[in-house]
Amino acid sequence: MDDIPLSALSLALVVLLAMSAFFSLSETAMMASNRFRLRHLASSGHHGAQRALDLLNRTDKMLGVILLGNNLINSAAATLVSVIAIEMFGEEKWALGAGTLVVTFAILVFSEITPKIIGATHADRLALVLGYVLTPLLRLFYPAVWFVNLFASALLRLLRLAPKANAEAPRLTPEELRSLVLESSHLIPQKHRAILSSLFELNNITVEDVMTPRGNIEILDLDLPWEEVCAQLATSHHSRLPVCRESLDQLLGVLPVRRLLGSLGDSEFDEASLLEHIQSAYYIPSGTAVFSQLAFFQENRQRIGFVVDEYGEILGLLTLEDIIEEFVGEFTTSLPGLGQSLAWDADGSAIVEGSRQLRDINRMLGLQFPLDGPKTLNGLILEHFQDIPEAGVSIKLTGIAVEILQTQDRSVVTARIFRPASR
């Protein structure tokens, strides 16, 4: 070493630290890269992504070549610092100790912490380039990597931690995918993000959550005078009407109203002609998941169904539009003149119909009414009182102040909700 100038030794040390930094950066960048993005790029023909995925599919080999190079270089750097210290200060013990501290500091700052921060920050971009460098290195040092991995594999088997030969890549659960969608605000527009988030919730809600309750269903009662029946057909805003006698307990079927509009003025149009157009009713068991019902609608080529309980009693009406509105938002299915939007007034309150779904109230007003019991505000109030409350009574439901404004018969017609102070 006496013939080698100190400047050359110092330059060699810098090169070794740079090479160590490269391996540290490679390890962090490859392991922190987004495999879903790499798969997308690889399927589009990106060669860098294909090489990176090939390396990640052989994690033991990839880490073997990275750590082999990193440890060899760090050991060489430590030895070189000892040589430089001896050249400068002789074989003094304090010089060797100081050299150890210096090389430890240099490796930590320049070869470990800094490159790993860079690798973690720009993992996706770096992985596309590193594949071109690490692949030939793995081929070059494959015998050494294979030999080292023999001992590593044996140790893993001894600890019962050996990876399975045909282990599948880790998959995201629906909850994890939903969190990924919600956190990607800078990538997905707000409207698209809301739709995707709602799609993940379809399996967690049932048909009772989105159906039109029985009391709000518009029916065509054939026991009424024929003139009233024709007038209702001419003025109805629905394309289909349930046809019955007296009530839904005597349901005859569903009538496609549009097919009869041209016949309303015909003198020969009578009840018998109307009955010829009635379609059989389609029934939906209560508790059916909304997403499953969407598939059933498609398989059975239906657009409307009646939700029934275990005794066969009709609980409400569900349409294909109701399900679609659940994840895309309200559109033109509401009746003219009936406001569907809901917002806080200037005084921090909102007047809500008792028949309004709790899911809609929570979504529109940002509240947290419980959804595991009654489905409407009226049902939640009646469950609390175990009786029909009088107008003017105020209560607190899950910390939210509610004032009863109007009651009729056996239900709450309207109520005023006060925004909690923390909102």
Residues 6+ apart with CB under 8 A from 200: 174, 175, 177, 178, 181
Confirm if 307 and 211 have CB atoms less than 8 A apart: yes
pLDDT of amino acid 3 = 61
pLDDT of amino acid 128 = 92
Report the helix count and the strand count for the chain, using DSSP H and E.
17, 11
> What pTM did the predictor assign?
0.55
Report d(CA 354, CA 404) in Å as an integer: 9
Query: Which domains does the chain possess?
Result: 6-158 (no CATH), 205-328 (3.10.580.10), 349-418 (3.30.465.10)
pLDDT of amino acid 238 = 83
Per-residue pLDDT of the chain (423 residues; tens, 9 = 90+): 456 677 787 788 889 999 999 999 999 999 999 888 898 899 888 999 999 999 998 888 999 999 999 999 988 888 888 777 777 766 666 666 777 788 888 889 988 999 999 999 999 999 999 999 999 999 999 999 898 888 888 888 888 887 765 545 556 676 776 676 666 656 667 677 677 777 777 667 888 888 888 888 889 999 899 888 888 888 888 888 999 998 898 999 999 888 777 777 677 788 888 888 888 999 999 989 888 888 889 888 888 999 998 888 999 999 988 888 877 766 544 444 444 568 898 888 899 988 888 888 887 888 888 888 788 888 888 888 887 888 888 888 888 899 999 888 778 889 999 998 764
Report d(CA 140, CA 152) in Å as an integer: 20
pLDDT of amino acid 136 = 92
Report d(CA 233, CA 134) in Å as an integer: 74
Confirm if 307 and 297 have CB atoms less than 8 A apart: no
Report d(CA 42, CA 34) in Å as an integer: 12
Confirm if 385 and 407 have CB atoms less than 8 A apart: no
pLDDT of amino acid 96 = 66
Report d(CA 233, CA 258) in Å as an integer: 9
Report d(CA 20, CA 26) in Å as an integer: 10
- Residue 11 has a CB neighbour count (10 Å cut-off) of 11
pLDDT of amino acid 335 = 43
Cα 200 vs. chain centroid, distance in angstroms?
6
Confirm if 250 and 243 have CB atoms less than 8 A apart: no
Which is nearest to 106 in space by CA: 36, 234, 15, 195? 15
Confirm if 237 and 257 have CB atoms less than 8 A apart: no
DSSP 8-state secondary structure symbol assigned to residue 176: H
Which is nearest to 313 in space by CA: 214, 236, 185? 214
Confirm if 145 and 64 have CB atoms less than 8 A apart: yes
DSSP 8-state secondary structure symbol assigned to residue 110: I
